[in-house]
Amino acid sequence: MDRLEAMSLFIAAAEDGSLSAAARRCGIPLATVSRKVSELERHLKTRLLNRSTRRLTLTDAGDAYLAACRRILDEVGEAERIAGGEYSAPTGELIITAPIVFGRLHVLPVVTAFLAAYPQVDIRLTLGDRIAQLAEDHIDLAVRIGRLPDSRMVAIKVGSIGHVVCASPAYLADRGTPKSPGDLATHSCITFEGLSSLATWTFAVDKADFAVPVRSRLRVNTAEAAIDAAIAEVGLTRVLSYQVVAAVRSEALRPVLRDFEPEPWPVNLVHAGQGRLPVKLRAFLDFAAPRLRERLAQATWQE
């Protein structure tokens, strides 16, 4: 029995909750996964997984063994990276995740420039607004917008971005320009899932956060759709400042309520930071951090 392979398949089955999902993830037949996990249990003389028709669950022994397997495979991987020279020259694959719009506008241009400078490094860039778990999802680096929870992760701040309420000049000419957050009660608003509550927008009033109820005339699920609807004169929308730089510069949208904007959100590059960093990751951090800082500094408009 290849014990390391069996450990890897056991981890996949435990994380995915089923043998069939583990087989799909690993690209091997279901029968092979089932056989190797069973062989591992026989070798250990204990049951690692409780099997049901709905989902696999870990036994107490399986829970402890899962943590040990992860640690062992991490150490084996570290040894292979050292032997393969990954710590002496940038080489191999980096897995990076970033929010969709920010990733497309700012991270992707930096990634393409990095690839040109480092031909021995490949990058898998995943854009999504779901907060991925670095260890569980095998991610080397995450670009995070917003306040970070306390953790052992290492964060490198590259800038900050604010919230902005904006509307088309035609809408403001027709409905009037709100002078304070309370004026939103008489306006049509465009809200979208993910940024904040659909029912309230938060502003800073006397240095304290203040939630204001808004009427969602239109609800969408992406910032791009909210911005397009605002340009189409549907109403006011509230987005992150970098998302509307082009629209404000072209005068398709006009910011309002600037004096009531809450504290900007930090933008961080987040990585596990445990042990020695692979040269490929250190090279990307050194390359990307100053370029992202410069891009964020320029992602504004002249009033």
Q: Of 64, 83, 102, which residue constitutes the final position of a domain?
A: 83
Compute the distance between CA of residue 219 and CA of residue 173 in angstroms, rounded to an integer: 23
237 with 189: CB under 8 angstroms? yes
Compute the distance between CA of residue 248 and CA of residue 143 in angstroms, rounded to an integer: 25
Q: What angle do CA 206, 208, 209 make, to 5 degrees?
A: 125
Instruction: Indicate whether 303 belongs to any domain.
Output: no
238/178 same-domain check: yes
Q: Give Cα separations from 238 to 146, 224, 292 (angstroms).
A: 16, 11, 23
Compute CA 168 distance to the chain's CA centroid, rounded to the nearest angstrom.
Answer: 30
Compute the distance between CA of residue 157 and CA of residue 198 in angstroms, rounded to an integer: 28
Domain count within the chain:
3
* Residue 143 lies in domain: 92-158+265-298
Look at residue 118 in the predicted model and tell me its pLDDT.
92
DSSP 8-class letter at 106: I
pTM of the entire structure?
Answer: 0.66
141 with 271: CB under 8 angstroms? yes
Compute the distance between CA of residue 72 and CA of residue 67 in angstroms, rounded to an integer: 9
HEC assignment per residue over 137-204: CCCCEEEEECCCCCCCCEEEEEEEECEEEEECHHHHHHHCCCCCHHHHHHCCEEEECCCCCCCEEEEE
271/153 same-domain check: yes
254/186 same-domain check: yes
pLDDT tens series, the chain, 303 aa = 788 899 989 988 888 888 888 888 888 899 999 999 999 999 999 999 998 777 888 999 999 998 888 888 877 876 776 666 655 578 889 999 999 889 999 999 999 999 999 999 999 999 987 777 777 778 899 999 988 875 678 889 999 999 999 999 999 999 999 999 999 999 999 998 765 667 889 898 877 888 899 989 999 988 899 999 999 999 999 999 989 999 999 999 999 999 999 889 999 999 987 666 888 999 999 999 999 999 998 877 654
Identity of the amino acid at 247: A
Q: Of 55, 83, 111, which residue constitutes the final position of a domain?
A: 83
243/176 same-domain check: yes
* Long-range contacts, 223-231 (Cβ 8 Å, 24+): 223/101, 223/192, 223/195, 224/101, 225/192, 226/190, 226/191, 226/192, 227/253, 229/190, 230/166, 230/167, 230/168, 230/171, 230/190, 231/168
Instruction: Indicate whether 14 belongs to any domain.
Output: yes
Q: Of 42, 62, 83, which residue constitutes the final position of a domain?
A: 83
Look at residue 195 in the predicted model and tell me its pLDDT.
56
* Long-range contacts, 203-207 (Cβ 8 Å, 24+): 203/257, 203/260, 203/261, 203/262, 204/260, 204/261, 204/262, 204/263, 205/181, 205/260
Instruction: Indicate whether 32 belongs to any domain.
Output: yes
Compute the distance between CA of residue 169 and CA of residue 285 in angstroms, rounded to an integer: 41
Instruction: Indicate whether 124 belongs to any domain.
Output: yes
Look at residue 303 in the predicted model and tell me its pLDDT.
47
CATH number at residue 212: 3.40.190.10
247/272 same-domain check: no
Helix (H, G, I), strand (E, B) or coil at 259: helix
Tokens for 36, please give them: 């190797």
Compute the distance between CA of residue 254 and CA of residue 110 in angstroms, rounded to an integer: 29
127/270 same-domain check: yes
Instruction: Indicate whether 149 belongs to any domain.
Output: yes
144/270 same-domain check: yes
112/148 same-domain check: yes
Please choose, from the candidates 262, 264, 263, the residue with its C-alpha nearest in 3D space to the C-alpha of residue 202. 262
Tell me whether strands 189-192 and 216-220 are parallel, antiparallel or unpaired: parallel
The alpha-helical segments, DSSP class H, found in 27-103 are 30-44, 60-83, 100-102
Instruction: Indicate whether 273 belongs to any domain.
Output: yes
- Count CB neighbours of 288 within 10 A: 22
